[in-house]
Structure 1
Amino acid sequence: MGHRPALAALNILRGEGVDRIFGNPGTTELPFLAALSNTPSAPEYILGIHEGAVIAMADGYARGTARPAFASLHIAAGLANGLIGLLNARRSHTPLVVTAGQQDRRHLQQDPMLTGDLVALATPAVKAAHDVQHAHDLPLALRRAFALAVRPPAGPVFLSVPMDLFDEATEVEIPARTPAPPLGPAAGLERAAALLGAAARPAIVAGDGVGREDALDALVRTAEACGAVVHHQPMADCLNFPTTHPLYAGMLPPRHDAIRAALTPYDTVLIAGAHAFTPHHYSPGPALPPGLTVIQLDSDPHEIGRNFPAAAGLVGSLAPSLHRLAELLRDRVPAPTAKGRILRAGERHTADRDRAESEARAAYSPAPLAPWAAAHAVARGLPADAVVVEEAITVGLLLRRLIRLDRPGSYTHTVGGGLGWGIGAAVGRALAEPARPVVAVLGDGCTLFGLQGLWSAARQRTPVLFVVLNNGAYRTLQDTYQAMGGRGSCPGTELGPLDFTRAAAFFGIDAVRAADADHLRELVAGAADLTRPLLVDVPLRS
């Protein structure tokens, strides 16, 4: 039985598990909105007042639900506003399907107002972009988009859909959904187990693929089977290994020289689900020290050997591959050897954590707070089962050293670097997992970039605690400027005094200013009891 194009699209969205549509509409979306309003059990429309917030909400929602999210943008201008979020989603491998309404095809040749080459505009920021020109192609294009969005490497897929296409009287057929067969364990695990099992000083780099594929428990089993020290990949987007575990050695810094130094003590490393050590600042030389035996495991075949050679390159689903690798290692590494390594690593890492704790506690004072004290107060105040959405460029690095989390999905960041993501991502995450407290830890500059997301937080009454770390500057630029030998002050980096409680009030959100570190810790602890959003303005020392 055939369906009109707009109804067919809604039918496919429901079949793909879409229960919310994130959007900011314009005239080219009106035919789709009409179908949405007249269709029982249609997905809920979540309005954002800027497309950056729209895509960030969809990003957070996709991560929280572990399925592709759907977003609807408006023509060239709306797509352009959403590009920063699409770039983030592509870098973070977040599965999204995004459409934008194109102008009516009957006058496209006349270059009507607001039109543009949507596919050309979207292509650099997405995994794939397509122009749908015929109503009978729309159902197949949507099915393909959802399938492609989750196929490794996951990412956003874009479709341009002319507004008049939805109004066509054509009856279109809906192709049945074909579930993708899951990847199995990688081939070659026996060789990987032989290499890792023979190591005297083994290490593991836990990449974001571990968190995305729910393979954290499997990686813990692998690490414990051989007593390997575990580092998070640089600027990790997910919790890929419990930060409470005695084998956890912290995050690798995002510079080749620092990564090389951190990995020099080891003779063999398993790199699981990591995007090839993407650095932030340039430093000469390779990321890996000479003589290091590398085992690389990923669900994306393009990652294997991409930036460094591997003695064993394995392609397969991470969780079953790591579970199997753990079993093989238990036959190769004597239990006393593994337990001894775990004990020694735990002693070193506990000492390191105690030093960081002492330094942070010593920095406690009334506001304005020292960055260490603010990070410590947030880390110690987090409620059980909290989700941290972090977009705090400088204090975020300190927070990573202090935070104690062990549940998958407890930490969310974007390595994409497009500022303004955090507020919307936190709203989307709270909509996806309403039973978990959500704490958004934000820099003041990042907050300014994404301020419009507070409107959606107020409209949806999402119980998110927004912690704004307010130092009145682009501090990461100032620090980098000084590290590069810059003289004097760095132009264009001073924001000046800002009162974010007033910004929150404008959007109808309750707000409070932290008086001291203990007050901040109490406010964070209260996130578990929120029934609506609350913003905490945290003055920091300059």
Structure 2
Amino acid sequence: MGHRPAAAVLDILRDEGVDKVFGNPGTTELPFLAALADAHNTPEYILGIHEGSVVAMADGYARATHRPAFVSLHIAAGLANGLIGLLNARRSRTPLVVTAGQQDRRHLQQDPMLSGDLIGLATPAVKAAYDIQHARDLPLALRRAFALAVRPPAGPVFLSVPMDLLDEDTEVEVPARTPPPPQGPAAGIERAAVLLGAATRPAIVAGDGVGREDALGALVRTAEACGATVHHQPMSDCLNFPTTHPLYAGMLPPRHDAIREALTAYDTVLIVGAHAFTPHHYTPGPALPPGLTVVQLDSDPDEIGRNFPATAGLVGALAPSLHRLADLLGDQVPAHTARSRTLRTGQRHTAERDRAESAARAAYSPAPLAPWAAAHAVARGLPPDAVVVEEAITMGLLLRRLVRLDAPGSYTHTVGGGLGWGIGAAVGRALAEPGRPVVAVLGDGCTLFGLQGLWSAARQSAPVLFVVMNNGVYRTLQDTYAARGGEGVCPGTDLGPLDFTQAARFFGVDAVRAESADQLRELVAGAGELTGPLLIDVPIRS
């Protein structure tokens, strides 16, 4: 049975499990909005007042629901505003299906207002971009977009849909949904087990694929089976290993020289679901030390051997592959050996954590707060089962060393680098998991980039605690400038005094200024009792 084009879109959205449309509409989206208004059982429209916030909300929602989120943008300008979010989603491998309305084809050659090269704009920021020119092609392309968005490596897929195409008085066929075929365990796990089993100093690098594929428990089993020390990949986007575990050794720094130094202590490393270590600042030389035996496991075949040679490369779904590897390691490594390694490693890591804990607690004071004290207050105040959405750059590095998290999905970041993601992502996360406390830890610069997301937080009554670390400077730039030998103050990095309580109240969000580290901890502890958004402005010593 055929459908009108706009009705076909809604039919596919419902079939794909889409219950929310994240958007900021314009005239070219009116046929789609009319279909939403006329149909029954349609997705809820989540309005944002800037496309950056719209895409960030969809990003947070998709990560929590583990299915593609649907985004509706407006024409070339709206797409351009949303590109920062699409770049983040592509780097963080968040599955999104994104549409933008193109101008009416009947006068497109006359260069009408608002028109533009949507495909040219979108292509660098997405996995694929489709220019729909015939109504009959729209349902098939939309089905293809949902399938492609989740196929490893996951990411955003874009469709340009002319306004008049959705209005056509014609019927189109809607193809049935084909469920994505599940990936099974990787081939070659037996050899990997032999290599790891023979190691005397094994290590694991837990990449973001672990968190995305819900393989955290499987990785814990693997690490415990051989007593391997576990590092998070540099600037990890997810919680890929419990930070409370005795084998956890923290995050690798995002520089090849620092990674090489950290991994020199081991003879064999298992690298799981990590995208080529994503270095930030350049340093000469490879990331891996010479002589290291490397076992690499990923669901994306393009990652194997991409930036470093692997002794054994395995492609398959992470959770079943790791469970199988853990079973085989049980036969390769004596239980007393694995327990002994875990005990020794745990004693060393506990001592390191205790030192960091003591130093941070000793820094408690009235505002303005020392960075270590502020990070500690947030980490110790987090309610059980809280989700941390972190976009705090330098403060985030401190927070990562202090949080004690073990629940899957409890830490979210974007390695994409497009500032302004955190507020919208936290709102999207709260919409996806309404019973789970969401604490967004934000730098002041990041907050300024994404401030419009507070409007959506207020409109949705999203119970998010926004914690703004307010030091009045672009600290990471100043620190890097000094490290490169710069003298004096780096120009263009001073934000000056900022009162985020005023900004929050303008958008209808309650706000309070933290007067001490103890008060900050108490406010964070109350995140689970929120019925709407609350912003805490935290003065930080610069």
TM normalised by structure 2 equals 1.00
2:95: which partner in 1?
95
Corresponding position: 1:413 with 2:416: no
AA aligned to 2:65 is T
Matched, 1:313 2:313: yes
Q: Give the 5 Å matches for 1:258-277.
A: 258-277=258-277
Figure out how many residues of one structure are paired with residues of the other and give that number: 542
CA distance in 1, matches of 2:123, 2:259: 32
Alignment correspondent of 1:140: 140
Match of 1:86 in 2: 86
In 1, Cα distance between equivalents of 2:299 and 2:508: 44
Residues 251-262 of structure 1 mapped to structure 2, 5 A cutoff: 251-262=251-262
What secondary structure, in the 3-state scheme, does the structure 1 residue paired with 2:496 have? coil
Q: Which string of whole-angstrom CA distances, capped at 9 and with x for unpartnered residues, describes residues 477-536 of structure 1? A: 000000000011100000000000000010011000001000000000000000000000
SS in 1 for 2:332: coil
1:70 is matched with 70
CA distance in structure 2 between the partners assigned to 1:489 and 1:339 by the alignment: 51
CA-CA distance at 1:181 after TM superposition: 1.1
CA offset at residue 312 of structure 1? 0.1
Name the residue aligned to 2:194: 194
Letter in 1 for 2:443: G
SS of match in other structure, 1:331: helix
Partner-residue secondary structure (3-state), 2:536: strand
> What's 2:210 paired with?
210
Q: 1:125: which partner in 2? A: 125
What is the alpha-carbon distance in structure 2 between the residues aligned to residue 127 and residue 493 of structure 1?
A: 34
Q: 1:278: how far off? A: 1.0
What is the aligned partner in structure 2 of residue 4 from structure 1? 4
Look up the equivalent residue of 1:352 and give its one-letter code: E
Q: Return the offset for 1:423.
A: 0.1
Displacement of 1:73:
0.1
SS in 2 for 1:231: strand
CA apart distance, 1:282: 0.6
- Structure 1: which amino acid aligns with 2:471? N
Cα deviation 1:187-234 (Å, max 9, x = unaligned): 000000000000000000000000000000000000000000000000
Amino acid paired to 2:237 = D
| Partner in structure 2 of residue 164 of structure 1 | 164
Matching residue of 2:58: 58
Give the Cα separation in 2 of the matches to 1:355 and 1:217: 28
- Which stretches of structure 1, 4 residues or longer, exceed 2 Å deviation after superposition? none
CA distance in 2 between counterparts of 1:486 and 1:180 reads 52
- 2:331 corresponds to: 331
Looking at structure 1, the residues matched to 387 and 278 of structure 2 have their Cα atoms a distance apart, in angstroms, of 25
Deviations 1:305-349 (A, max 9, x none): 000000000000000000000000000000000000000000000
Q: Does 1:448 align with 2:444?
A: no
Deviations 1:451-497 (A, max 9, x none): 00000000000000000000000000000000000011100000000
Give, in whole Å, the separation in 2 of the partners of 1:411 and 1:132. Answer: 38
Q: CA deviation at 1:113?
A: 0.5
Deviations 1:373-397 (A, max 9, x none): 0000000000000000000000100
SS in 2 for 1:419: coil
Q: Which letter maps to 1:360?
A: A
In structure 1, distance between residues paired with 2:60 and 2:534: 18
Displacement, 1:400? 0.2
2:476 aligned with 1:485: no
Structure 1 unmatched ranges of 5 or more: none
Q: 1:340 aligns to what SS in structure 2?
A: helix
> Which residue pairs with 2:44 in the alignment?
44
CA distance in 1, matches of 2:166, 2:123: 23
Q: Structure 1: how far apart are the matches of 2:439 and 2:254? A: 25
Given residue 277 of structure 1, which amino acid in structure 2 is its aligned partner?
A: F
1:362 is displaced (CA, Å) by 1.1
* 1:180 Cα deviation from its structure 2 partner: 1.1
Alignment of 1:172-191 (within 5 A): 172-191=172-191
Q: State the superposition RMSD in angstroms.
A: 0.3
- The residue that corresponds to 2:295 in the other structure is 295
The aligned residue for residue 473 of structure 2 is: 473
Residue 31 of structure 1 aligns with which residue? 31
Q: Which residue of 1 aligns with 2:351?
A: 351
Query: Per-residue displacement from partner, 1:273-298 (whole Å, max 9, x unpaired)?
Result: 00011100011111000100000000
Q: Structure 2: how far apart are the matches of 1:242 and 1:152?
A: 24
> Is 2:96 the counterpart of 1:106?
no
SS in 2 for 1:13: helix
**Distance of 1:277 and 1:66 partners within structure 2:** 23
Q: Percent of aligned pairs with the same residue? A: 85
TM-score of the two chains, using structure 1 as the length reference:
1.00
